[in-house]
Structure 1
Amino acid sequence: MRAKDVMTASVVTVGTDTSVREIAGILAERRISAVPVVSTDGKVAGIVSEGDLIRRAETQTERRPSWWLTLLSDPADKALDYIKAHGGTAKDVMTRKIISVGEDATLEEIADTLERNHIKRVLVMTDGKLVGIVSRADLLRGLASRKPASEQVAKDDEALRKNVEEALKQTGATRTFVTVIASDGVVHLWGAVDTQQEKDAIRVAAENTAGVKNVDNGLSVLPPMVRAAMWAD
């Protein structure tokens, strides 16, 4: 799945001169957490989120740092805080740093973008134009509707076993004493691993392999003393 498959295409936008009061009303009425700001030439100028409206003079929530922090703070930062708290239009309070992805961005790329930038939604742009927006909720809907690709389903037990073995490599678990057996779509896991987390990761990898109907997890977790003895020099 890609951005174009999960994005919200009918994006609500505001202009640079839209009042803060009107923006707050839009966010509340539409039950959305942010709105892109578009200039008169159709270009995205920024985005206003709930976070941009938290510290406001009207609600008496503006920042009031202690006197000693005021002495140490940068005058430019103080000026920006004042504008955020007292500015009356979108251009005053909006976040100007525009983070976006293309329509063909994968869900993994979108998730990485959200995580790396500590944001809750990302704009989808094509040729510099806003075509949609993807939020965390959109990613969850994509996850819920995603189905395993049928072409990846193994046609026989040996092929299925090999597919599971390949999937286990991605877990990072020590598989020295792990045996995988496949029979009529059921995967049997035997042997021992160092930790419960490795046991669970191997089970999850097997369950996620296309064609697996069930997983019989017979793996055991080695006691600490046994592990120490086995891996001692």
Structure 2
Amino acid sequence: MQARDVMTTHVISVTPATRTRDAIELMLAHHLSGLPVLDEAGKLVGILSEGDFVRRSELGTEKHRSRFIAFILGPGRAAHDYTKSHARFVRGVMTEEVIAVSEDTSLSDLVALLEKHAIKRVPVMRGDELVGMVTRSDLLRALVAASRKREESMDDGAIKERILAELASEGWAPSSCIGVEVKDGAVDLTGTIFDARQRLALKVAVENTPGVKAVHDRLVWIDPGSGLVIDAPEENSDGNAAAS
């Protein structure tokens, strides 16, 4: 998937001349954690986020540095901090260094950018034109849509083949020691595991297979160190992984 597949195209924005109070009220009214800042020509010149309002004089949260630290950092840094905490217009609060992506940026690369720069949103550009925004909420909506798509119906034989193929592709899965039987979408897992963490991973792999309605854990854990044999834990009252 690419940025164009998940981005929000109806983008609410502000200008550098927007009052900070108006920008905050806009964010609250539309349940937004950030806004792009566009100049009069529609060019993206900054990003405004909740984090830009954390250090504010109105809240008494502006930065107070020791004289020594202030001396080391110099007057420019102090002036910058003062502007951020006292500015009445977006131009003095916004972040000017904008990290953006193009429409064909893969979601993998996009998420890597979010993680690397510890940001929650990224503008999507077509040349110099802002055409959308991708936020964490957009990624969650895409995740739900992908999950629903995976719930397509499959017959028992196809389900078993899909599970076995998935386990064979994972290095952590002792596929040669695991038995899989499927009846009416309910999967019985039997066999031996040698690490307790494999139990949950195997169940997750099965639950993620389209068409699976329930998972019965009948795996036996053998501790390689002691040789202790531990049977499958008691299943929950519903005994299964409920289908969506």
Closer/same/farther in 2, CA of residues 92 and 117 from structure 1, 3 Å limit: same
SS at match of 2:57: coil
CA RMSD of aligned residues (A): 2.9
Identity of aligned residues (%): 35
Structure 2 counterparts to residues 20-35 of structure 1, below 5 A? 20-35=20-35
Q: Deviations over 1:71-110 (max 9, x none)?
A: 3335443332122123332222211222223334454444
| 8 A contact 1:173–1:202 mirrored in 2 | no
Question: Displacement, 1:27?
Answer: 1.9
In the alignment, structure 1 residue 47 sits paired with structure 2 residue 47 = yes
The normalised TM-score by structure 1 is 0.80
Alpha carbons of structure 1 residues 224 and 71: separation in structure 2 relative to 1, 3 Å: farther
Match of 2:164 in 1: 165
Unaligned runs of 5+ in 2: 229-244
- For the 8 Å contact 2:167–2:175, the answer to whether it is kept is no
The SS at the match of 1:165 is helix
Correspondence for 2:138: 138
In structure 1, distance between residues paired with 2:44 and 2:105? 19
1:15 counterpart SS class = coil
Shift, 1:128, TM fit: 2.7
Which string of whole-angstrom CA distances, capped at 9 and with x for unpartnered residues, describes residues 111-167 of structure 1? Answer: 33322221112212223311221222222222223323588x76662x543421332
> Compared with structure 1, are the counterparts of its residues 37 and 227 closer, same or farther at alpha carbon in structure 2 (3 Å cutoff)?
farther
Distance 1:200 1:131 in 2: 42
**Poorly superposed stretches of 4+, deviation over 6 Å:** none
Give the match for residue 15 of structure 1: 15
Query: Which residue identity is paired with 2:78?
Result: K
Determine the structure 1 residue equivalent to 2:103. 103
Q: CA separation in 2, counterparts of 1:22 and 1:136? A: 24
The answer to whether residue 141 in structure 2 is matched with residue 148 in structure 1 is no
1:198 Cα deviation from its structure 2 partner: 1.8
Q: Aligned AA for 1:77?
A: R
Q: Is the 8 A contact 1:43 1:129 kept in 2?
A: yes
| Paired positions, count | 226
Cα contact 1:180–1:187 (8 A) shared by 2: no
Q: Does 1:83 align with 2:66?
A: no
Change (3 A) 1:227 1:23: farther
Q: Are residues 203 and 51 of structure 1, via their aligned partners in 2, closer, same or farther at CA, if it must alter by over 3 Å?
A: same
Q: Distance in 2 between matches of 1:58 and 1:144?
A: 40
- What code does the residue aligned with 2:149 have? P
Does structure 1 residue 94 correspond to structure 2 residue 116?
A: no
Q: 1:116 to 1:194 in 2, by over 3 A?
A: farther
Do structure 1's residue 127 and structure 2's residue 131 form an aligned pair? no
Equivalent residue letter for 2:54? I
Task: Indicate conservation of the 8 Å contact 2:167/2:173, yes or no.
Answer: no
What is the rounded CA distance, in whole Å, between the counterparts of 1:109 and 1:173 in structure 2?
Answer: 26
Query: How does the TM-score come out when normalised to structure 2?
Result: 0.77
Q: Give the 3-state SS of the residue equivalent to 1:17 in structure 2.
A: coil
Q: Tell me, in whole angstroms, the C-alpha distance in 2 between the residues paired with 1:169 and 1:62.
A: 56
